[in-house]
Copies of this chain bind each other. A is one copy, B any other.
Amino acid sequence: MLNWDHVFATRMAHMRASEIRELLKLLERPDIISFAGGIPDPALFPEEAFKAAYADIFSGDRAAAALQYSVSEGYRPLRDWLRGEMEKIGIPCSVDNIFITSGSQQALDYLGKLFLSPKDTALVTWPTYLGALQAFNAYEPNYDQLTLTGNRTPESYRAAAENLGGAVKFAYLSADFSNPTGETVDREARERLLTLAEELDIAILEDAAYQSLRYEGEAIPPILALEIAQKGSIEETRTIYCGSFSKTLAPGLRVGFVVANQTVIRKLVLMKQAADLHSSSINQIAIANVAERHFDAQVAKIRAAYGARRDAMLKALATYMPAGTTWTRPEGGMFIWVTLPEGMDGAELLARSVETEKVAFVPGQAFFADRSGANTLRLSFCCANETMIDEGIKRLGRMVQGALAAAA
């Protein structure tokens, strides 16, 4: 076998397989109750709607276009539909502000590519979406902790980045029901972030993957909506909104989108031309068809199902978790974030779980750019029914209880 470490680009030293992924593979057995996956419940997919959409493509005169190359910007009717949706959530824009990606993971990769030279700094929350760190790592950045309390000055961010040999380029966050914590950033913190970004002259990457999945409470305007309200036009804004159909319609088609000023959109189109030409023509047509006919009903169905599972998990946590353990109370999304008593280790707990209680979750450390957070766990409540949730959390509680007793 060739040893090619010296032939590979320097970036490859930053790209490592996730250790937890290997452990989680062991836990994909039928006797395991899993709260690990960040995937939607396939039982809720709008199968019939997609069946009709693909059949429609081949029964009309659109088959050739569906099978042919298409433009890098994305399918125009899908972008038209998105323009209308954006308007509803306070983001007035034109179709030229909308760019279709192969899932919102691709948006994160492209935005890393667009902004990050090696040694530049990306601001991310501690913890943040693991997939964002993986996407950005390819561009060899440094990370600094994005705090939403306003306790860091622009000057401290700027000085830290310069010390590391680069500049701050963007702040990345998921403002609604974030992966992994499930928490939502309130309106005041969003406004503070806009001020910070203005002072640093950086972009804000607003990851809105979960935004449609609210189960209670009032919607807070997207950061991009707040910025448009301040500045009068999307062309003056620095917030780049990344959306997805993966949590609402289906992830397997790989269709996501970006909404931003046209300077950014044009760069992304150029990048896509060079990187994969365009997202699947046929899938964009199918998504447009299903979105136009079924989006609101589908979102209502998912909200009802996931909302009930969230309630079940919150109830089970209150029932079974020992004192000293805390957790978030998300108003939407897919995740609850558990903080174990200081000194406990989520990865150890998971390794033990394979042997004994057979419940799966994701240890929280992987979500921290600084590898802190060993005593945290991410639980997904989406892919288990209410009985399994009760049983799984009972087992988890028993394991935490046992570990605490052993340490005492």
User: A residues engaging B (CB < 8 A)?
Assistant: 1-2, 4, 7-12, 15-17, 39-40, 42-43, 45, 47, 50-51, 54-55, 57-58, 63-70, 101-103, 105-106, 109, 113-117, 120, 131, 134-135, 137-139, 169, 201-203, 235-236, 238, 246, 250-254, 261-264, 266-267, 270-271, 273-283
Contact = CB atoms under 8 A, between A and B. Distances in A.
- From A235, A238, A278, A282, residue with most partner B Cβ within 10 Å: A282
Contact of A117 (B11, B16, B54, B106): B11
Contacts of A40: 68
A103 B7 contact: no
Contacts of A2: 236, 238, 261, 263
A209 to B, nearest CB: 12
Given A2-B263, A9-B114, 14 more contacts: A2-B236, A9-B115, A11-B113, A42-B64, A45-B63, A47-B63, A67-B251, A67-B252, A69-B246, A70-B252, A102-B279, A134-B274, A135-B274, A137-B274
Closest 7 CB pairs of A and B: A252-B281, A51-B58, A67-B250, A134-B274, A42-B64, A54-B54, A109-B275
B54 A68 contact: no
Contacts of A254: 102, 276-281
A252 B69 contact: yes
Given A9-B116, A103-B277, A106-B275, A45 B67 contact: yes
Contacts of A103: 276-277
B15 A274 contact: yes
Contacts of A281: 252-254
A10 B117 contact: yes
Given A17-B270, A67-B253, A270-B17, A7 B115 contact: yes
A239 B317 CA distance: 54
A379 B218 CA distance: 59
Nearest to A115: B9
A63 B39 contact: no
11 contacts: A7-B201, A9-B113, A15-B267, A45-B63, A45-B64, A50-B58, A67-B253, A69-B246, A105-B275, A282-B283, A283-B283
A6 to B, nearest CB: 8
Contacts of A203: 4, 7
Contacts of A274: 15, 105, 109, 131, 134-135, 137-138
A74 to B, nearest CB: 13
Nearest to A48: B58
Given A105-B275, A120-B9, A275-B106, A66 B252 contact: yes
Contacts of A43: 64
A57 B8 CA distance: 39
Contacts of A65: 42, 252
Contacts of A271: 15, 138
Nearest to A278: B254
Nearest to A14: B274
A166 to B, nearest CB: 10
A202 B246 CA distance: 39
A88 to B, nearest CB: 25
A117 to B, nearest CB: 5
Nearest to A169: B7
Nearest to A134: B274
- From A8, A16, A274, A283, residue with most partner B Cβ within 10 Å: A274
Contacts of A42: 64-65, 67-68
Contacts of A68: 39-40, 42, 45, 250-252
A251 B65 CA distance: 10
A45 to B, nearest CB: 5
Contact of A282 (B109, B252, B262): B252
